[in-house]
Amino acid sequence: MSTRRAAVVGGNRIPFARADGPYAHASNQDMLTATLDGLIARFGLQDERLGEVAAGAVLKHSRDFNLTREAVLGSRLSASTPAYDVQQACGTGLETTLLVANKIALGQIEAGIAGGVDTVSDAPIAVNEDLRQVLLDVNRARSLGGRLRAFGGLRPGQLKPSIPRNAEPRTGLSMGEHAAITAAEWGIGREAQDELAVASHHNLAAAYDRGFFADLVTPFLKLARDQNLRPDSSLEKLAKLKPVFGRGEGATMTAGNSTPLTDGASTVLLATDEWAAQRNLPVLAHVVDGETAAVDYVHGDRREDGLLMAPVYAVPRLLERNKLTLADFDFYEIHEAFASTVLATLAAWEDPDFCRNRLGLAEPLGTIDRSKLNVNGSSLAAGHPFAATGGRIVATLAKLLHEKGSGRGLISICAAGGQGVVAILEAA
């Protein structure tokens, strides 16, 4: 069976906002719908029936079980466009891209939209687990007496609501605490992390200033640029911040070199070359391949199986399958969950023992030319609305490749649950 290459036609996102900022009262559905509508307006997709829209959110209300479909119904797309939700933590946006691209490659659909959205401001708050059990027992009771007995289980402490936490269920540690362990194990220093953060801010600001995002971002609720962006960020300023993750003298991770909690949404338009050509739409890049890996961060090695280390394993497998080396890329987009995560990833690929023992490579995977890394900034500057990050990166990289006119780019995104999604794009 022959396959086709899925084209990245373009993207749209709303500027990312800090939690409880301008989007505090916007729901996931509001943001995803607005982001879809911006994409539709950019590419004239009003009333089009697309093959599918795949998107998702990490923090999601139970009422939003059909979030993406509801957003499609509220958008200017044809209501006959099907949609489904995906949730793979921070990998969601890239995973939906791969899903839609794969269907295009297999000839099942001609065009589709991938995306993701997240709000930590409008987070779902659930009733206390004990209270929930009591209420369910009441519901199940068949007699008045039974109901009264069930009500007898009520306690004042059950009024405390259950608020979602940025923590791994199996370890109880927050993502930052996990990352701090990894940073310490790999000896990632404070200054190197701050340098990466400063570069991210400066690169993103420069990209905005040269108009790079004019056809990638549509303002929302009067916010026109990523709220977290600090164009005047500097090593001196970052050096003043106190560590927030990790303990004692060795703590290196601050609010400046970690991503803040963020609200936002992103979308990517994918299609066959023919579909794009029929509509005079550009092809920015092609989706070449993708790979997902997972590590046993619960029982595994403290150094080598860190929560956010899965991309370290995914990339060599992807390179092997595509007969490529780490040096064969013009752009590297490594999601900056934390500056230390990016640096630990690079360190692992340069470590001969790790590469031999864990990746089965005779030589280290290699070193990345830092001037090709996150050249237009990444999550440290833009912010990181979990499921929306993948779409932001895919569209940004596709446009970078289109501007260059040749070459390929590597995307690496770490995700909760010890997972990692990586992909290759190639200039069209």
Tokens for 66, please give them. Answer: 């059909």
CB of 112 to other proteins, least distance (A): 19
Q: Residue 170: is it exposed, middle or buried by C-beta count within 10 angstroms (0-12/13-18/19+)?
A: exposed
- Which region among 194-202, 206-214, 253-261, 319-327 touches other proteins (by CB under 8 A)? 206-214
**3, 25, 47, 302: residue in contact with other proteins (rule CB under 8 A):** 47
- Which region among 40-48, 105-113, 160-168, 330-338 touches other proteins (by CB under 8 A)? 40-48
- Which region among 33-41, 108-116, 195-203, 305-313 touches other proteins (by CB under 8 A)? 33-41
Considering only residues 379 through 398, tell me which ones interact with other proteins, judged by CB under 8 A: none
**30, 37, 291, 351: residue in contact with other proteins (rule CB under 8 A):** 37
39's enclosing H/E stretch is helix 28-43
Instruction: Say which of 178, 201, 335, 414 is annotated catalytic.
Output: 414
Question: Per-residue contact track with other proteins, 258 to 287, x per CB under 8 A?
Answer: ----------------------xxx-----
Nearest to 336 by CA among 389, 291, 288: 389
Parallel, antiparallel or unpaired: strands 408-415 and 6-13: unpaired
Region of residue 117 (phi > 0: left; psi between -120 and 50: alpha; otherwise: beta): beta
End-to-end CA distance of the chain: 23
Q: Determine whether 414 is an active site residue.
A: yes
Instruction: Say which of 178, 201, 286, 384 is annotated catalytic.
Output: 384
Question: Per-residue contact track with other proteins, 153 to 192, x per CB under 8 A?
Answer: ----------------------------------------
Cα–Cα distance, 263 to 261 (Å, whole number): 7
**94, 114, 131, 217: residue in contact with other proteins (rule CB under 8 A):** 217
Q: Determine whether 384 is an active site residue.
A: yes
Determine, following the binding rule CB under 8 A, whether residue 106 of this chain makes contact with other proteins. Answer: no
Please write down the long-range contacts of 202-209, taking CB distance under 8 Å and 24 or more positions apart.
202/231, 202/233, 202/377, 203/374, 203/375, 203/376, 203/377, 203/381, 204/229, 204/376, 204/377, 204/378, 204/381, 204/382, 205/229, 205/231, 205/377, 205/381, 206/376, 207/376, 207/377
Determine, following the binding rule CB under 8 A, whether residue 219 of this chain makes contact with other proteins. Answer: yes
Cβ atoms of 253 and 340 within 8 Å: the answer is yes
Determine, following the binding rule CB under 8 A, whether residue 405 of this chain makes contact with other proteins. Answer: no
Q: Determine whether 355 is an active site residue.
A: no
- Which region among 66-74, 78-86, 212-220, 251-259 touches other proteins (by CB under 8 A)? 212-220
List, by residue number, the catalytic residues: 90, 384, 414
